[in-house]
Structure 1
Amino acid sequence: MLVTNGKETGMAILTGYLGTYDSPRSRGVFRFSFDGETGALTAPELLLEAPDAKYLALRDGLLAAPVRRGSRAGLCLADLRASGGPCVVEYLCEMTPGCYTAFDGDRVYSANFHEGTVTVYRLEADAPLFEKRIEIAPGAGCHQVLARGRFLLVPCMNLDEIRLFARESLAPVGSVPFPKGSGPRHGVFDRARERLFVAAQGDNTLYSFAAGPEGFVPAGAEPLLPPDAREGSEAAAVRLSNDERFLYVSVRGENVIAVLEARGTRTRVIQRAPCGGDHPRDILLSPDGRFLLAANRNAGGLVCFAVDRETGLIGKECARVDACEGVAVVLDAPNEDAQAAPGAAGKDG
């Protein structure tokens, strides 16, 4: 049964998946339902026992996530289209679980915060095989992998830069510097791949870049929080609305979702809305942009908010379900732009 403000409903139902940190109550990937008409949610139920599946990527019925098995770690790939339940294949070749996974053609990338690496897996018959490990630096804080044209971009939080690699050969080709202590964490491109917006965890700033064939030109920086914000606050996930007019950034500590208006590469904060809990991680817009889901790791669970598509502002809470250690959230939706998840895992990887 779907629940929204205590009422039962059910139309335009989508399946959602929640990735979690490992704990006695959260041993993997959970599945829930989302009503695209009302914002109603069902309580998440365990789908895959996959410890530390704290980031999710979903494409064409294939769900990718980090996984830890004892002293080994790597990639878990679940075929959700299989009859009789998910068909799961794992490849364990990492020392610690990654904090980000992403599909790119016949590859899957795993960014590893602690190891300072990106592990590249190649898909063959929907099974992952090790292709290469990109070594950056121990403790570099690799937090994401983004593909654009001939480039792979790897935000390295502890190096205050985005490392650039050739998308085909995976060879290093340069970097994009950030201010010292800024801690670039996750970015999102517009649909044309001409604008890049990067949320920085260290200084809680959203940086804008103009993207060209040869690189990325700084175009602006907008503080996400007021000067009197709670000490220790840290930006987490960033999302761009499908009409590309608004950006949404979750900020832990202050426990808000910052809403920014985007005009070209210029941005400005227009709202700081409560996240509905403690320690917001991933956020996700519904395919039509009418709702926003927020996964709160420490308290508050998975929360759905109404969104005004004209103003971009976050409105009333529509539904809430209990979820422990929630980090990443994806929807099995036909709109692929809504699935371009830019990040969820935290400073602790």
Structure 2
Amino acid sequence: MKRQLTTLLIASAMSVFSAAHGTQLLVGSYTDGASEGLYRYAFSSVSGQIGVKPLQVLKSENPSWLTLSVDHRLLFAVNENGAGKGQAGSFSVSAKDGTLKPLNQISSGGDEPTHASLSHDQRYLFVANYSVQPTPGGSLSVLPVAKDGRLGASVQQDQHKASGANPERQASPHVHSVVSSPDGHYVFASDLGADKVFIYRYDGASPKRPLSPATPAFVDLPPGSGPRHLLFSSDGKQAYLTLEMSAQVVLFEHNDGKLIERQRLPLTEQNDVAAKAAGALHLSADGRFLYVSNRGTANELLVFAVDEDSGKLMQVQRRSVEGDHPREFVIDPSGKFLLVANQKSNEIVVMRRDPRSGMLGETVQKLPQDAPSDLKFID
């Protein structure tokens, strides 16, 4: 009953914000060029248009991944810097108008953090430190979140063993994402360098070591496949994974922390390695469609229909992103538009989406944005 009441209060607060101020879009970006870092835009779920001028710009170095708290009152950003300068920062999000206010910034516990997620109870931020260089190599860091939203120093760091299947890209571990199961009992770390998804039990009451290896402690993927991002269905019965280096998407059956592979599909028919660079994946809100990006020379979005019972995928569309390197994308709260962050062509592309068929239609806007890397909505 308490959890239901909390959910209702959060939903009510978010609907009040949406009614008063409309939907807003947060953009994280790389700052090697003209970008200043973190942007906040107005967005219309009626027209699909992003406001030409940002509502707010915050200077932040390479905020490549954004994570919102359940109530959208806190934002966490990882700063994808190397040479011991990887960081994670927290921001408050005004319930009045969405204004972002920096709270604090600390070390991420590693180099080039590329992903982060909150524990189910919102007590910890799990950070995936990718680390381009073999030393120190990629790692998983656990950062405590204080009641006021500020981040504390890492209380746990785990590093895996690389597979070495690809001597250039897998000489060391590269943790690319960390996500929890919907019930919050397990945490899954996809390690591109190890060709494994590592599985942990989560215990929020253990402040010195919240994560411990589950049984089994990992699931193996094909050598040289490079697991990247993992995504669960809302009921937790299925999980989907992109394999970056082999450009594939995998369906797992999930039960109490165990992943059993049920399907693996290619994202491209091209044999050229340059066309294989699987990236982001997201389910529609109703769980009926899965969207997956493939970067490289392909630069496409693939749309899959999801079988209601088995979770199995059937491809229904392949669409150009009309740009280069779709690092991330997001479906707007109305479900009528899909926005793509084309990192290397420096723009955000907005496509019309049919909620009934899942199909992507015409492009309604191309907004210039230097090196966008992640997109999140405040609604």
TM-score (norm 1): 0.87
**Greater helix proportion:** 2
Moved more, 56-65 or 290-299: 56-65
CA–CA distance in structure 2, aligned partners of residues 30 and 94 of structure 1: 25
CA–CA distance in structure 1, aligned partners of residues 291 and 21 of structure 2: 24
CA–CA distance in structure 2, aligned partners of residues 229 and 269 of structure 1: 21
**Which position in structure 1 is the counterpart of 2:78?**
66
**Which position in structure 2 is the counterpart of 1:343?**
none
Moved more, 293-302 or 79-88: 79-88
**Identity, % of aligned pairs?**
21
CA–CA distance in structure 2, aligned partners of residues 307 and 12 of structure 1: 23
**Which position in structure 2 is the counterpart of 1:135?**
159
Q: Secondary structure at the match of 1:244?
A: coil
One-letter amino acid of the counterpart of residue 135, structure 1:
Q
Equivalent pairs, count: 324
Query: Are the equivalent residues in 2 in contact too, given 1:183–1:201 (CA < 8 A)?
Result: yes
1:97 is displaced (CA, Å) by 3.4
CA–CA distance in structure 2, aligned partners of residues 203 and 301 of structure 1: 26
Gap regions ≥5 residues in structure 1: 1-10, 334-349
**Which position in structure 2 is the counterpart of 1:336?**
none
Quick check: 1:113 aligned with 2:130? Answer: yes
Quick check: 1:266 aligned with 2:312? Answer: yes
1:101 is displaced (CA, Å) by 1.3
Among 177, 193, 208, the residue aligned to 2:220: 177
CA–CA distance in structure 1, aligned partners of residues 62 and 318 of structure 2: 30
**Which position in structure 2 is the counterpart of 1:337?**
none
**Which position in structure 2 is the counterpart of 1:38?**
47
CA–CA distance in structure 2, aligned partners of residues 88 and 229 of structure 1: 45
CA–CA distance in structure 1, aligned partners of residues 330 and 108 of structure 2: 30
TM-score (norm 2): 0.80
Q: Secondary structure at the match of 1:298?
A: coil
1:276 is displaced (CA, Å) by 1.9
Quick check: 1:326 aligned with 2:326? Answer: no
1:224 is displaced (CA, Å) by 1.3
Gap regions ≥5 residues in structure 2: 1-19, 132-136, 163-171, 204-209
Cα-to-partner distance string for 1:251-281 (whole Å, 9 max, x where unaligned): 1120111111111231122111010211111
CA–CA distance in structure 2, aligned partners of residues 257 and 228 of structure 1: 18
Task: Report the CA distance shift for 1:142/1:70 in structure 2 as closer, same or farther (over 3 A).
Answer: closer
Q: Secondary structure at the match of 1:165?
A: strand
Query: Are the equivalent residues in 1 in contact too, given 2:141–2:158 (CA < 8 A)?
Result: yes
RMSD: 2.3
Query: Are the equivalent residues in 1 in contact too, given 2:346–2:372 (CA < 8 A)?
Result: no
1:170 is displaced (CA, Å) by 0.7
One-letter amino acid of the counterpart of residue 49, structure 2:
A
**Greater strand proportion:** 1
Query: Are the equivalent residues in 2 in contact too, given 1:193–1:211 (CA < 8 A)?
Result: yes
CA–CA distance in structure 2, aligned partners of residues 72 and 184 of structure 1: 25
Task: Report the CA distance shift for 1:260/1:82 in structure 2 as closer, same or farther (over 3 A).
Answer: closer
1:135 is displaced (CA, Å) by 2.4
CA–CA distance in structure 2, aligned partners of residues 180 and 233 of structure 1: 15
State how 1:194-205 maps to structure 2 within 5 Å: 194-205=237-248
Among 205, 225, 229, the residue aligned to 2:268: 225
Among 154, 157, 178, the residue aligned to 1:145: 178
CA–CA distance in structure 1, aligned partners of residues 352 and 324 of structure 2: 19
CA–CA distance in structure 1, aligned partners of residues 82 and 251 of structure 2: 39
Among 76, 87, 90, the residue aligned to 2:89: 76
Query: Are the equivalent residues in 2 in contact too, given 1:155–1:163 (CA < 8 A)?
Result: yes
1:227 is displaced (CA, Å) by 3.7
